[in-house]
């Protein structure tokens, strides 16, 4: 990525790799306490400060910053004073735009009201809480360390600390989870003044011990339809396949990803993308390598970079658009074959005309469930 291209990224992602334990279904780069050596958190902090400094000195940081996302891993495990040293370094090179969005992911087991207050004092103004389930047996099955009571206490704490823009994450498709469970989770979560809810379908590799217990496609669709109905009835907009927001509270940072915008990322395993250059690059997925490259070798921790060709860009464009309730312009259906497919999918209730923008088509909830197949056919 050239400097000018990197500077175009006004959205920054920071990956904090530590977790209490490794959840059974997780494929993010993260280290549970059993894999964390004493001194690793300090070394990580030094390395991340070094990465920010190298990029800042190299003129790669755009200013002002529109969105920041602290993800992981479990960023809320980071001591606030360590977080402050990291963000103080960042603000040597860039400022925050008025109306910025700055999200931190939090897990119920690693947070209390005092810690939330300290994070808020840094300027963080949005929290995404990884609740995942409010049923003890499902949390155990997933390998989560918190229980139901901790999840609700953490939600009480985040609002007591004064956060007003709070999102929660739930998982659906958990073996043994019923429609009733999902409905009751939604009722309980929306009894808090949350502004956003992400509900992801649990996916596991075929060799996983729980793989055979996953619900089939019909059950998944039933869950998706219920979630859509329950959330819309509560005033949330189903604006992305897995995401619901109160009006004006869509996740702005994630919308940058979903609309093919540029973002610059820091930390082990973090991906960056430059829209103008069509370049994607990734940092190394190893804390040890990340720290060595930055601290001992004074070089950026890049693992690979690739320039997307026309057909990759076209595929990305479709994959992203089909997942958003904004959908895509009808003029994207260029050939007779594409237009026929479009009509067929409308007849089958998988696509519909956008109610506010008749020049656009979008996936229905049933279409969301089959989004990969739709794109394959439409392309
Ligand atoms: S808390 Fe999140 S990042 Fe950490 S192991 Fe569990 S799923 Fe992965």
Cβ of residue 200 lying under 6 Å from some atom of ligand 1: no
Q: Are strands 279-283 and 302-307 parallel, antiparallel or unpaired?
A: antiparallel
pLDDT digits (tens, 9 = 90+) for 209-227: 888 999 988 898 899 999 9
Residue 271, in any domain of the structure: no
DSSP string, 115-140: HHHHHHHHT--EEEEEEE-S-HHHHH
Buried b or exposed e, range 138-170, using 16+ CB within 10 angstroms: bbebbebbbbbebbbbbbebbbebebebbbbbb
Look up the CATH number of the domain holding residue 55: 3.20.20.70
Q: What is the pLDDT along the chain (379 residues), one digit of tens a residue?
A: 555 555 678 999 999 999 999 988 898 999 999 999 999 999 999 999 999 999 999 999 999 999 999 999 999 999 999 999 999 999 999 999 999 999 999 999 878 999 999 999 999 999 999 999 999 999 988 888 888 899 999 999 999 999 999 999 999 999 999 999 999 999 999 999 999 999 999 988 888 888 899 998 889 889 999 999 999 999 999 999 999 999 999 999 999 999 999 999 999 999 999 999 999 999 999 999 999 999 999 999 999 999 999 999 999 999 999 999 999 999 999 999 999 999 999 999 999 999 999 999 999 999 999 999 999 999 8
Residues 25 and 159 in one domain: yes
Task: Name 4's Cβ contacts closer than 8 Å, sequence gap at least 6.
Answer: none
Residue 119, pLDDT score: 97
Q: Is the CB of 23 under 6 A from ligand 1?
A: yes
Confidence at residue 4, expressed as pLDDT on a 0 to 100 scale: 53
pLDDT of residue 232: 96
| Residue nearest (by alpha carbon) to ligand 1 atom 3 | 73
For residue 206, the tally of other CB atoms under 10 A from its CB is 6
> Phi and psi at residue 56, in whole multiples of 5°?
-65, -50
91 in the same domain as 14: yes
Q: What is the per-residue pLDDT for 190? A: 97
Q: Do 94 and 174 share a domain, yes or no?
A: yes
pTM for the full predicted model = 0.95
Q: Kindly state whether residue 203 falls inside one of the protein's structural domains.
A: yes
pLDDT score, position 18? 97
pLDDT of residue 47: 98
210 and 351 both lie in a single domain: no
Q: Ligand 1 within 6 A of 72 CB? A: yes
- Which of 227, 258, 289 terminates a domain? The answer is 258
For residue 138, being part of any structural domain is answered with yes
Tens of pLDDT along 97-133? 999 999 999 999 878 999 999 999 999 999 999 999 9
Residue 284 domain-assigned (yes or no): no
Report yes or no: 101 and 253 within 8 Å, Cβ to Cβ.
yes
Contact (CB, 8 A) for 110 and 154: no
Does the C-beta of 28 come closer than 6 Å to ligand 1? Answer: yes
Which residue segment(s) compose the domain that 373 sits in? 313-378
Pair (232, 117) in one structural domain: yes
Ligand 1 atom at minimum distance from 19 CA: 4
**Could you tell me where the beta strands, DSSP code E, fall in 298-339?**
302-307, 328-329
Q: Of all protein residues, whose CA lies closest to atom 8 belonging to ligand 1?
A: 26
- 30 CA → ligand 1 middle, Å: 7
Q: How many domains does the chain have?
A: 2
C-alpha of residue 378 to centroid of ligand 1, in Å: 35
Other C-beta atoms closer than 10 Å to the C-beta of 183 total: 14
148 and 190 in contact (C-beta within 8 Å)? no
Q: Do 246 and 324 share a domain, yes or no?
A: no
Indicate whether 174 and 25 sit together in one domain.
Answer: yes
Distance of CA 71 to the CA centre of its chain: 8
Give the neighbor-by-neighbor strand order of the sheet with 360-363.
Answer: 328-329, 360-363, 351-353
Residues ≥6 apart with Cβ < 8 Å to 64: 10, 94, 95, 96, 97, 98, 100
> How many angstroms separate the CA atoms of 89 and 45, rounded?
11
Task: Decide whether any atom of ligand 1 lies within 6 Å of the 19 Cβ.
Answer: yes
Centre of ligand 1 to C-alpha 26, Å, is 6
Is residue 74 in contact with ligand 1, taking CB distance under 6 Å? yes
φ and ψ of 37, to 5 deg: -90, 155
Same domain, 229 and 371: no
How far apart, in whole angstroms, are the C-alpha atoms of residue 277 and residue 272? 12
Ligand 1 atom nearest to CA at 25: 7
Residue 113 lies in a domain: yes
């Amino acid at each position: 990525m050239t400097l000018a291209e990197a500077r175009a990224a006004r959205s920054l992602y920071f990956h904090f790799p530590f977790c209490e334990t490794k959840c059974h279904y997780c494929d993010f780069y993260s280290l549970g306490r059993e894999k964390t050596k004493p001194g690793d958190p300090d070394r990580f902090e030094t390395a991340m400060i070094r990465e920010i400094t190298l990029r800042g000195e190299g003129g790669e940081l755009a200013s002002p910053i529109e969105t920041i996302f602290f993800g992981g891993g479990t960023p809320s495990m980071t001591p606030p004073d360590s977080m402050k040293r990291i963000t103080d370094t960042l603000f040597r090179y860039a400022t925050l735009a008025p109306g910025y969005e700055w999200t931190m992911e939090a897990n119920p087991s690693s947070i209390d009201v005092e810690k939330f207050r300290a994070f808020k004092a840094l300027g963080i103004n949005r929290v995404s809480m990884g609740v995942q389930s409010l049923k003890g047996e499902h949390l155990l099955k997933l390998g989560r360390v918190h229980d139901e009571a901790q999840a609700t206490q953490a939600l009480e704490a985040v609002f007591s600390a004064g956060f007003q823009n709070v999102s929660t994450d739930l998982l659906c498709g958990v073996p043994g989870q019923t429609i009733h469970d999902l409905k009751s989770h939604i009722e309980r979560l929306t009894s808090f003044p949350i502004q956003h809810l992400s509900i992801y379908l649990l996916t596991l590799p075929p060799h996983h011990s729980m793989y055979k217990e996953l619900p089939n496609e019909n059950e998944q669709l039933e869950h998706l339809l219920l979630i859509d109905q329950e959330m819309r009835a509560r005033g949330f907009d189903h604006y992305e396949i897995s995401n619901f927001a109160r009006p004006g509270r869509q996740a702005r940072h994630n919308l940058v990803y979903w609309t093919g915008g540029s973002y610059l990322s820091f930390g082990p395993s973090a991906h960056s993308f430059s829209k103008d250059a069509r370049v994607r690059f990734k940092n190394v997925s190893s804390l040890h390598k990340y720290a060595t490259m930055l601290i001992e070798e004074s070089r950026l921790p890049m693992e690979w970079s690739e320039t997307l060709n026309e057909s990759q860009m076209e595929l990305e464009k479709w994959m992203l658009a089909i997942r958003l309730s904004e959908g895509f312009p009808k003029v994207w259906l260029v050939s007779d074959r594409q237009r026929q497919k479009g009509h067929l999918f409308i007849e089958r209730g998988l696509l519909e005309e956008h109610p506010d923008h008749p020049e656009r088509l979008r996936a229905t909830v049933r279409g969301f469930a089959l989004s990969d197949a739709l794109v394959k056919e439409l392309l």
